[in-house]
Chain A
């Protein structure tokens, strides 16, 4: 640590600014799609709907905002992210800028003999001999199939960002403890949170004897969900915890940890419930077994639905400014949408914490149920 605290912060700021500027420079130039989509700004109700649904989904490039330049070309500001797909002919990597902001499947990217198109943020590989994607009535591509998409999408990028933030913040806190018993600066904010997770979530739900083994997982999950939720409220447009795959992963981790730390008693309570007659035992076994699956399923759906719903409602309220412009006038509509979305964002701040808390809390509860020793039987 040669640099002082402020010096380091300035350095970080400079690095991020540099990355940001270079990204802007690299993306601004080639990205004027020649009106292939045909529309510029989002104005009508159906367009807003589509825009919101598009935002909820994961994306292959980091899009900040768009505008029409003097010649009427649509300009997109943002930066591309790497696309990594596992196609029928092996791994293919390229930058997402190759798609030229096309999301309708019209722009075909040729990469080493593989033709790839992007349609509704999904990457399809065209079948042999096909040169353009064709759709059936339900808008499913007929002559293309999906590929395993391991791209650094916006959500993965966001996850990396959150991870780096967490590693820096908590790593610094850990380093501080080596020198002094009481942290200073930002560590003072983080320490009560750590104590909160440990003393209010892990310890009472798992029990004094076992909670230590699981604090690492619980804390990582808690801070990851919370930071991701908060990041989703910024105008950067992340929707990490609103991705089903992400919440599925989190719930899967809880499920695996719960099952693998289950004691003999836990399994006995599932397959041969003590204290009930034999026919009941036989009926209860499949119900209990299903119960082990519904618990993480509800964890997954809850987080996904809450965050998605929050994003949809906030964006809908923001779009009031566009929809009500004709009836309330530009200023009135903007004011109304600003006031409503301001208060909803406050609620979303609470929800961001609450969902992280509930996910961690219920995970701890399920783990606690699995490691509990029933000595009263």
Chain B
């Protein structure tokens, strides 16, 4: 792994981290507001987190 690769990987992880944080935070807020919709919110959260994760992993492996 070269230095640019590592920097790129770090940027990807930072971006993905921010995204995941936003998703998780918003989901928590939603659950706090509407506890009866917990299941739906969780499912949606997992799906979006999975899509983001796929994107991040894709970028990581493309840069490897």
Contact = CB atoms under 8 A, between A and B. Distances in A.
**Is there any pair of Cβ atoms, one from A and one from B, under 8 angstroms apart in the complex?**
yes
Interface of A: 297-299, 301-302, 305-306, 354, 357-358, 361-362, 365
A301 B50 contact: no
9 contacts: A298-B57, A301-B58, A302-B50, A305-B57, A305-B60, A354-B46, A358-B46, A361-B47, A362-B50
A101 to B, nearest CB: 29
Contacts of A365: 47
Nearest to B46: A358
B54 interface: yes
B11 interface: no
B47 A301 contact: no
A306 B60 CA distance: 12
Nearest to A204: B43
A357 B49 CA distance: 13
Contacts of B46: 354, 357-358, 361
A299 B55 CA distance: 10
Contacts of B54: 298-299, 301-302
A362 B58 CA distance: 16
A362 B55 CA distance: 14
Contacts of B55: 298
Interface string B28-64: 0000000000000001001100110111011011000
B57 A302 contact: yes
Contacts of A362: 47, 50-51
Interface residues of B, number: 12
A32 B43 CA distance: 53
Contacts of A298: 51, 54-55, 57-58
B10 to A, nearest CB: 16
A369 to B, nearest CB: 12
Given A298-B57, A302-B53, 16 more contacts: A297-B58, A298-B55, A298-B58, A301-B57, A305-B57, A305-B61, A306-B53, A306-B57, A354-B46, A358-B46, A361-B47, A361-B50, A362-B47, A362-B50, A362-B51, A365-B47
A354 to B, nearest CB: 8
Contacts of B57: 298, 301-302, 305-306
Given A358-B46, A361-B46, A301 B61 contact: yes
Contacts of A297: 58
Closest 8 CB pairs of A and B: A298-B54, A305-B57, A302-B54, A358-B50, A301-B57, A301-B58, A302-B57, A302-B53
A362 B47 CA distance: 7
Contacts of A305: 57, 60-61
Nearest to B53: A302
A244 to B, nearest CB: 9
Contacts of B47: 358, 361-362, 365
B37 to A, nearest CB: 14
Contacts of A357: 46
A203 to B, nearest CB: 13
Contacts of B60: 305
B5 to A, nearest CB: 16
A148 to B, nearest CB: 25
Contacts of B53: 302, 306
Contacts of B43: 361
A206 to B, nearest CB: 14
A375 to B, nearest CB: 23
Chain A CB count within 10 A is highest, among B46, B51, B53, B57, for B57
B8 to A, nearest CB: 16
A297 to B, nearest CB: 7
A301 B43 CA distance: 21
B55 to A, nearest CB: 7
A354 B45 CA distance: 13
B51 to A, nearest CB: 7
